[in-house]
Amino acid sequence: MAKNKGMEHKAVNQSRKKVALVAGAQCIIGRNLISYLETLDEWEIVGLSRREGVNTNKISYISVDLLNEADTEAKLNHLTGITHIFYAAYQDKPSWAELVAPNLAMLVNVVNGIEKASPCLQHISLMQGYKVYGAHLGPFKSPARESDAGHMPPEFNVDQQQFLEQRQIGKSWNWSAIRPAVVGGVALGNPMNLAVAIAVYATLSKQLGLPLRFPGKPGAYDKLLEFTDAGLLAKATVWAATTPQCANQAFNINYGDIFRWSEMWPKIARYFELETAPPLPMSLNVIMADKEEMWRKIIEQNNLASHTYQEVSSWAFADFVFSWDYDMLADGSKARRFGFHEYVETEQMFYSLFDELRVQKVIP
């Protein structure tokens, strides 16, 4: 009898085990998601990326080209126990239209591979953003809500969600779509990392004895916007993926503490012990192109970690964010109504990220 009880207990434990497949494991979102999942006893993790990762007793990494259907299927065919797909992979391209085909293909290849391999699949989480609302195109209805009407394509985020909606019909798994604001986190070598770009910009300004000038469009300095901390986003993503009432729903994930650069920029300058001066519109992608040698000197002078200039430069993305001369807001109340109440203050988020970059000896 005791033996039967023990076997029953083991079966219960096994049934509670969750296995996450994180696509885009080396990006800001993927790294923070993995870090959070590692703190949860019931999860095992498989990370997918082009670059290798360091395996532990809780996580194994697979290097795979998700654009290659055959390679993806071959690399995933042994993953028979995957219960949750967390999809945060991204392929950058020069134009909005060019983004659609590769980013849709990667998602399709992952879903095809895991559906064939794992009968345990319960949920697919899709990472999106405010582009669903047309935020990247120009002034849009804000605060944007999950129920807002769509906009004229192309937009790969929309195509990806439509694929999941159609694929899910008649299946035992469900999906969720997570829509953060600009994500704040520490992940070097990532093309969309505003916090690192600001920190490096400030460091270079200090090296040159210059004040910290806001480099964006004139109208962007006073517009309202918001951020999403990568750690908080990880918690929200797992919450939506494991809460039954969130099935087949989209959620904006943000703080609600909106700000203006005109208020935040002087605070950031003070953190780096810099003065400010009136904003001066300039393309960082252009003006920072010749600063690689200066960055190497900063590394030598301050005994910093030997990251390449390219690894710490996200100038094109910074230019994109600093060009928003219109409000960039979404309504995050739906997630709170469904039960997610985590919160991070934006100002403190910046300070924490800058502190972490110093701890990691990325900046002096």
CB-neighbour burial class of residue 102 (10 A; exposed 0-12, middle 13-18, buried 19+): middle
Same domain membership, residue 212 and residue 79: no
Q: What is the pLDDT of residue 11?
A: 34
Asked whether residue 12 carries a pLDDT value surpassing 80, the answer given is no
Report the C-alpha gap between 280 and 217 in whole angstroms. Answer: 8
What's the pLDDT band for 7 if we cut at 50, 70, 90? very low
Same domain membership, residue 320 and residue 238: no
> What tens digit of pLDDT does each residue of 32-85 get?
999 999 999 999 999 999 988 899 999 999 999 999 999 999 999 999 999 999
> What tens digit of pLDDT does each residue of 178-204 get?
999 999 998 888 878 999 999 999 999
Q: Examine residue 1 and state whether it is found in any structural domain, yes or no.
A: no
DSSP 131: G
Question: Checking DSSP bridges between strand 43-49 and strand 123-127, what pairing results, if any?
Answer: unpaired
Q: Examine residue 249 and state whether it is found in any structural domain, yes or no.
A: yes
Same domain membership, residue 107 and residue 95: yes
Same domain membership, residue 233 and residue 304: no
- Which of 323-335 are b and which e, b meaning 16 or more Cβ less than 10 Å from the residue's Cβ? ebebbbbbbbebb
Same domain membership, residue 170 and residue 48: yes
Share of the chain above pLDDT 70, in %: 96
Domain holding 100: CATH number?
3.40.50.720
Q: What is the pLDDT of residue 315?
A: 97
Stretch 225-240: mean pLDDT: 97
Alpha-helix residue ranges (DSSP H) falling in 82-155:
96-117
Same domain membership, residue 165 and residue 121: yes
Number of neighbouring beta carbons within 10 Å of residue 52: 11
Same domain membership, residue 243 and residue 196: no
Report the C-alpha gap between 354 and 350 in whole angstroms. Answer: 6
Stretch 333-354: mean pLDDT: 96
> What tens digit of pLDDT does each residue of 89-145 get?
999 999 999 999 999 999 999 999 999 999 999 999 999 999 999 999 999 999 999
Stretch 167-177: mean pLDDT: 98
What's the pLDDT band for 259 if we cut at 50, 70, 90? very high
Asked whether 342 and 237 are in contact (CB, 8 A), the reply is no
What's the pLDDT band for 256 if we cut at 50, 70, 90? confident
Same domain membership, residue 247 and residue 104: yes
Q: Examine residue 364 and state whether it is found in any structural domain, yes or no.
A: no
Asked whether residue 3 carries a pLDDT value surpassing 50, the answer given is no
Tell me the one-letter amino acid at 359.
V
Q: Examine residue 263 and state whether it is found in any structural domain, yes or no.
A: yes
Tokens of 296: 């190497």
Same domain membership, residue 126 and residue 81: yes
Q: What is the pLDDT of residue 192?
A: 86
Q: What is the pLDDT of residue 15?
A: 52
Tell me what the pLDDT averaged over the chain comes to.
Answer: 94
Q: Examine residue 6 and state whether it is found in any structural domain, yes or no.
A: no
Range of the domain at 120: 17-180+229-253
Q: What is the pLDDT of residue 327?
A: 98
HSE toward the beta carbon, residue 142, CA cutoff 13 A: 21
Share of the chain above pLDDT 90, in %: 92
Same domain membership, residue 208 and residue 191: yes
Total tally of structural domains belonging to the chain: 2
Q: What is the pLDDT of residue 2?
A: 36
Stretch 316-323: mean pLDDT: 97
Does residue 170 come out as left (phi exceeding 0), alpha (psi in the -120 to 50 range) or beta?
left
Same domain membership, residue 171 and residue 266: no
Asked whether residue 5 carries a pLDDT value surpassing 60, the answer given is no
What is the H or E stretch that residue 18 is in?
A: strand 18-23
Alpha-helix residue ranges (DSSP H) falling in the chain:
2-16, 28-38, 69-76, 96-117, 156-168, 194-207, 230-242, 261-271, 284-287, 292-302, 315-322, 333-338, 346-359
Report the C-alpha gap between 23 and 107 in whole angstroms. Answer: 9
Q: Which of 139, 133, 138, 112 is nearest to 124 (CA)?
A: 112
Asked whether residue 168 carries a pLDDT value surpassing 50, the answer given is yes
∠ CA 318-321-327, rounded to 5°: 160
Q: What is the pLDDT of residue 188?
A: 86
Same domain membership, residue 237 and residue 215: no
Q: Examine residue 5 and state whether it is found in any structural domain, yes or no.
A: no
